[in-house]
Amino acid sequence: MRIVVTGSLAYDYIMNFPGHFKDHILPEKTHMLTVSFLVDSMRRMRGGVAGNIAYTLALLGERPLVLASAGQDFGEYRAWMTAQGVDASGIAEIAEEFTASCFINTDLANNQIVAFYTGAMSYSKDLTLHGLGLGPDDLVLISPTDPDAMARYAREAREIGVPFLFDPGKQTPRLSGEQILDGVNGARMLIGNDYEFAMMAKATGKSEAELIASTPVAVVTRGAEGATIYTEGRELHVPVAPVGHVADPTGAGDAFLAGFAFGLARGLSLEEAGRIAALAAAFCIEQKGCQEHHFTLEQFAARYAEAFDRTLMQSEGLGAQSPITSPLFV
């Protein structure tokens, strides 16, 4: 069994401005705005949805295959992924492009000015699931990347007959209603936060209830309120895992999806998959950056027991790879 993760790969350039943006912007001159901010720190961090999801899956003992495109500057990132146990053989490096990059400048009031360069990400639409030897015992995660690529992967997953999960995420505003419905068509699970579900409903003309009912499982994350799993007319509540402190919530959704997909792949119940997802997200948000958290399987199991007053044994799925046994994938 393999888990294939599709989605973006990116570098995040995090900068901090030791002042307030508003003090340097003249309201009466915004028609000819030219500003420059001297920052006092910058960090380059590995990111992108596919990279984030694959990293957490690897921490849980998986060896996910990433299908994505990156640029000429990806060498260090590829080496990092391989060292963490991620299969990077499906990543195409585009020699004439740079890896997608997000430039984030934050002031003292936590206001942000963000610029995103798609770079090599636009080439992901040329990649294919065909030829990977996938079948009904494998799992494909379709996560945010180039909209045409997302549509292609959903179509190919249906053609191959491989189960797939659809996670439109931050690309939801860019997807047409037709593209969203195409991604949902045949998906075993639809996942997003409550705002993204509202946007999907607006784009498709469907109600949120209709979207939820369109896949065997739908998961709506609700921040500090946890998540709701919808399946077979039932609603299952997933509580958040206790967090020591919130350092950066940015990658929480990616870690959550990784944990949930892992639970499904191990044949665990939806409730247990949800709790694993919640705990994976908790580990993530306690660190600055989407791939800065770390845990051993023993640490994960111990914290799971403490958070949920339940035991998660390695024999129930942690660590050892095994075929998908969840009823969703039979």
Segments in the chain forming alpha helices (H): 49-59, 75-84, 147-160, 177-184, 194-204, 208-212, 252-265, 270-285, 297-308
Tell me phi and psi for residue 68, to 5 degrees.
-165, 175
Is 254 marked active-site?
yes
Hey, how many other C-beta atoms are within 10 angstroms of the C-beta on 123? 20
Closest CA to 317 of 237, 260, 254: 260
Catalytic pick among 12, 138, 182, 254: 254
CA distance 246 to 260: 21
Sheet holding 164-166, edge to edge: 91-94, 65-71, 3-6, 139-142, 164-166, 189-193, 217-221, 227-231, 234-238
Q: Are the C-beta atoms of 52 and 167 separated by less than 8 Å? A: no
DSSP string, 161-180: T--EEE--GGGGGGS-HHHH
3-state helix, strand, coil in the chain (%, to 5): 40, 20, 40
Largest CA distance in the chain: 65
Hey, how many other C-beta atoms are within 10 angstroms of the C-beta on 244? 8
Question: Catalytic site residues?
Answer: 254
